A and B are shown apart, each in its own frame.
Chain A
Amino acid sequence: MILRTFGFSEFGFLLSALVWTIILTVIALGGGGIIGFFVALARTSTHKWLRIIAGTYIQVIQGIPVLMILFLSYYGLSLAGLQLPPLVAAGASMTIYASGYLGEIWRGCIQSVPKQQWEASESLAMTRAQQYRYVILPQALRISLPSTVGFAVQVVKNTSITSIIGFVELARAGQLINNATFQPFRVFLAVAALYFVVCYPLSQLSRWLERRLHVGSHR
């Protein structure tokens, strides 16, 4: 039996799998962003029950492993009688995961907008929706940028977990190539390097945004 070695075509396969990692990240951040936005709004709502429900949702999502969200959506979707490709289960679970964390991050950002901004906009006879739209959210968005980008790094890394249910993204591609070449050290170092190439610039961007945000403030 002739073993393949880890060469250019194998590296090309890793690169094509990296595309799936990025697609999954975009799905997670898009879907999780939409749900997380409403979770954050509910968390800062004036209705007590909305706050409690959103708070419980966040506590539960942050108190269970991503792997369990993945398994539950994988088996849950198939129990519902849907024969879906792993991408759907992977996308759904990553979306749920991201929504729990983004909801909490953005809640903090909404609440860190000074209280006077609420009072000032209220005294201008704005409705609550107008207050959010014109006064609070634009400021919260600016505050949220560094931590949101920082969280994107976590999402990129955690998409690797979807390899466990057989979704072929970067980590899974690494396993497949390792099975063909038996050069685990080289293969997984290459995989790690590819993740690093994606994550490191994001980390640095997050840090740069953080520094820029604090320019002029006494911290």
Chain B
Amino acid sequence: MPYTFQFGVIAQYQNEILAGIWMTIKLSVVSIVLGCAAGIVLASIRSMKPGISRFIVDAYVEIIRNTPFLVQLFIVYFGLPGLGFRVSAVTAALIGMTINLAAYSTEIIRAGIESIHKSQIEAGEALGFTKLQIYRHVIIMPAIAKVYPALCSQFVLMMLASSICSAISTNELAASAAFIESQSFRSFEIYIVVTLIYLALALAMRGVLALLGLWLFGRRVARRTAVALPEVQA
């Protein structure tokens, strides 16, 4: 039986789609800011002398990176209420995305910090920098500049992974698609449209992050960011 595609139906639901896009963007931006900040802090702890705090950070990173995002969401959304914390679907999605992204960015930034040569720090000391100045100008900023493309790829992956939050009824873009599908029964059409929207979001995000890199770190880093594809972290 030949199938007639009807994309026109979807136009009626543009408000749902726009609301979904907006929620996806909000979730991504907030979790990226929080996750990246947590990543910087945790990677700094990780690069200190071996000890209990370093062990805890390592354990956290390994546990998050070796379990699926979907199961992490289930634990936050279905598990936390059992312990007495009731969270809404949006809050659960935010918590899940942030703890997930924090682990990955910790690992990426740690690699950046480790790549800073000891002589750089000694040079900083020789110039009379304070500990804080060395930490900021010699360690953290160059480290992030080095790993910025990998970090951005991870951000884009996180935005795409936010679609999984629809499984815990967070009303972002993928959930809008499911809703429209249940109303119009035009499943294939709606998923094609939403897939293209995700693709556009991913490309736009890579562009914005490249501009941010240009502003923060200069031209070389920005160009690498624009062409970088997600790296696979072991």
Q: Which residues of A contact B (CB under 8 A)?
A: 58-60, 62-68, 71-72, 75-76, 79, 81, 101, 104-105, 146-147, 149-151, 153-154, 157-158, 160-161, 163-164, 171, 174-175, 178, 183-185, 188-189, 191-192, 195-196, 199-200, 203, 206-207, 210
Contact = CB atoms under 8 A, between A and B. Distances in A.
Contacts of A59: 229
Contact of A63 (B62, B80, B81, B198): B198
Interface of B: 1, 3, 62-63, 65-72, 74-75, 78-83, 156, 160-161, 163-164, 166-167, 174, 177, 187-188, 191-192, 194-195, 198-199, 202-203, 229-230, 232-234
B44 to A, nearest CB: 22
14 contacts: A58-B229, A66-B160, A67-B174, A68-B174, A68-B191, A68-B195, A75-B188, A105-B232, A150-B233, A157-B67, A164-B70, A171-B70, A175-B74, A196-B63
Contacts of B71: 160, 171, 174, 188, 191-192, 195
Contacts of A67: 163-164, 166, 174
Contacts of B202: 62-64
Contact of B66 (A72, A76, A81, A153): A153
A160 B188 contact: no
A177 B66 CA distance: 22
A183 B74 CA distance: 12
Given A147-B232, A150-B233, A158-B68, A65 B82 contact: no
Contacts of B65: 153, 199, 203
Given A79-B188, A81-B1, A64 B70 contact: no
B198 A188 contact: no
Given A65-B164, A68-B195, A188-B79, A171 B233 contact: no
Nearest to B153: A62
B224 to A, nearest CB: 14
Nearest to A207: B234
B3 A184 contact: no
A105 B231 CA distance: 8
Contacts of A200: 62, 66
Contacts of B161: 65
Contacts of A191: 71, 74
B188 A64 contact: no
Contact of A79 (B3, B164, B233): B3
B187 A75 contact: yes
| Interface core residue of A67, A146, A175, A183 (most chain B CB under 10 Å) | A67
Contact of A72 (B174, B195, B232): B195
A203 B63 CA distance: 11
Contacts of A147: 232, 234
Nearest to B156: A63
A196 B234 contact: no
A139 to B, nearest CB: 20
Given A59-B229, A184-B81, A192-B68, 15 more contacts: A63-B160, A64-B199, A65-B161, A68-B191, A75-B187, A104-B229, A147-B234, A150-B232, A171-B70, A171-B74, A178-B78, A188-B75, A189-B79, A203-B234, A210-B234
